[in-house]
Amino acid sequence: MPVLPSLRSRLALAIALLVSVLSWLLGSFIGHDSSVRMRGEIGQDLAEVSYQMADRLDRAMASRFHLLSVISQLKVLQEASDPAQIRQLLDHLQEQFPDIAWLGLTDTAGLVRVSTGGILQGTSISQRPVFKEGREHVFIGDVHDAVLLSKLLPNPSGETLKFVDISLPVFNGASGDDRKTIGVLAAHLSWAWAEDMRQSLMQPMQERRRIEFFVIAADHRVLLGPRETIGQVLQLPQLEGLGQQPRWAVQRWPDGNDYLTGLALSRGYENYKGLGWTVVTRQSLDEAYAPAKALQRDILVWGIALAVIIAFIGWLLATWFTRPLKAIANAADRLSLGESMEIPDIRGTREIAQLSQSIRHLVDSLSNHQTALGVMESLAHHDALTGLPNRAALEKYLPRAQQRSQSQNNCLALLYLDLDGFKPINDQFGHAGGDELLKEVARRLRTCLREGDMVARLGGDEFLMVLQVPRSDAQNQARVIANRVLASLSHSIMLHQVPARIGCSIGGAVWPLDDPDLSDVLGLADKALYRAKHAGKGQAHFHQAQDALSDFR
């Protein structure tokens, strides 16, 4: 007989390998779970920060709009009798509000009568939107370059300045028919205040994570962001169809890298309706996942160290585990023969080979019995083609589902499903194609279910869904699942590399709202299915009280 390795050596090695593998698995699981959690938390943070930035921009624009509205109603502007006094007022406002790069008052023809610093004074701006639009109503223009003002205003950087225009009509102060427009109050607001706002919001977050802000115009131009991106058109799928609520996603950017991306749409504030800006905040995935990777690495290092220590202790204590092995092996042999035997607790060293063989017999015997029983039960309660529960499983499941619903004061929604157009598929692709289609239908039906729900194949192309729904919103929730099924089955299915389309008709009823007898509710759902098919297929009908009256007539 060959000499076998000692139990102590095997046990120490097994413990070391086991702890190392468990540490690796634990590290991988925790790392993955942490990455998913961090991705969700950071993504939500980015969406919230985008919303805060958008809200700040809206409030800032609204405050500037309200400021000009108040100024336009000052008596000194409405009388327009003293240009020097008006000039003094405008210059004072510019000193108090540095974001106002230029402020001027025109006459009704668009000629600048008074302006801050005398810039453009005496110049006609009648062809510019700031006058043409502001003469009729309040006008707020989007961010734009101002080449002329860049030359006239102080500009240490030498770059073309960017402005936001606000203008509104100035009236003579009278009321009724005597109220007339005497000019337009126009302002160019420096876009630098938005950059300051971006920096103030981004600075505290930069200490924890490296993020980048972008302000995108309605035409997807970058208005604010890293210098090299300003003015470029940003094409992101998430920008399309963005609703009022902020959202986040993992997004592939034009540079080919994936980023956690938060988006929020400008919604305006009070009377200011907004300019359709979108605030986008992004962070690279490597930066987002860095803490999770560091945690995974630490777990692995500490796990290996722990494996070495535990393996050494196990090697020292292995002697204590060798004493009862022979008695345990003998008892295991008798148990495998079907005898009623309790494994004794005996101390002493025994041969590992005999123990291994005896325990293997016992485990094999128990496993074979359990496997055989499991296979038999599975074959009896599952459809061989689709793997879905069959009628036998459904009959076993319904009483338990009914009892559970009663204990929780819930309802059961029963949905009969019948495929539309299955026979032409069978005729075109044969029974093999039809079988493949039924398997795909079963897979899609499973994805439509929630935890605690069930779908069974009744035979052919008929299925039944059993849904756990709250009593207060039973039919609405059942309709949601029905519509989800219709939408899922509306997509084409590839059969032999050829797209095939199939529909579905659904009839539904709710127990005990429609009838206290569950078998009668099944009949009501079957009748509702007939109405759905009669109404044109591809739709879901639920039992209604008037349906029962019409059936009675």
Whether the predicted pLDDT of 335 surpasses 60? no
Confidence of residue 200 (pLDDT cuts 50, 70, 90): confident
Token code pair at residue 215 = 């302000």
Domain spans, the chain: 1-209+287-318, 210-286, 325-375, 391-552
CA distance 108 to 99: 26
CA distance 135 to 187: 13
Bridge partners of residue 105, in order along the sequence: 114, 185
Mean pLDDT of the chain: 78
In this predicted model, what pLDDT tens digit does every residue of 140-199 receive, in sequence order? 888 777 666 666 666 555 556 677 888 888 888 777 767 788 888 888 887 777 777 777
Place of tokens 């936001």: 164
Pick from 113, 60, 126: which is nearest to 103 by CA? 113
- Quick check: 483 and 532 in contact, CB under 8 A? no
In this predicted model, what pLDDT tens digit does every residue of 219-240 receive, in sequence order? 888 888 777 887 888 888 877 7
Q: Which CATH class is domain 1-209+287-318?
A: alpha beta
459, burial (CB in 10 Å: exposed 0-12, middle 13-18, buried 19+): exposed
User: Do 210-286 and 1-209+287-318 have the same topology in CATH?
Assistant: yes
CA distance 488 to 484: 6
Whether the predicted pLDDT of 13 surpasses 80? no
Token code pair at residue 160 = 């073309």
End-to-end CA distance of the chain, in Å?
90
CA distance 317 to 391: 56
CA distance 240 to 525: 41
In this predicted model, what pLDDT tens digit does every residue of 51-99 receive, in sequence order? 888 888 888 888 888 888 888 888 777 776 778 888 888 888 888 888 8
Average pLDDT over residues 322-345: 58
Pick from 70, 79, 215, 76: which is nearest to 138 by CA? 70
- Quick check: 224 and 215 in contact, CB under 8 A? yes
pLDDT the model gives residue 542 = 92
DSSP state of 108: T
Alpha-carbon torsion (153, 157, 161, 166), positive or negative:
negative
3-state secondary structure of 464: strand
Where does 391-552 sit in CATH, by number? 3.30.70.270
Confidence of residue 372 (pLDDT cuts 50, 70, 90): very low
Fold of 210-286: Beta-Lactamase (3.30.450)
Strands 503-511, 540-542: parallel, antiparallel or unpaired by DSSP? parallel
Residue 488 C-beta-side C-alpha neighbours within 13 Å: 17
CA distance 170 to 104: 12
Q: How many CB atoms lie within 10 A of CB 51?
A: 21
In this predicted model, what pLDDT tens digit does every residue of 26-53 receive, in sequence order? 767 766 676 677 777 878 888 888 888 8
Token code pair at residue 336 = 């495998």
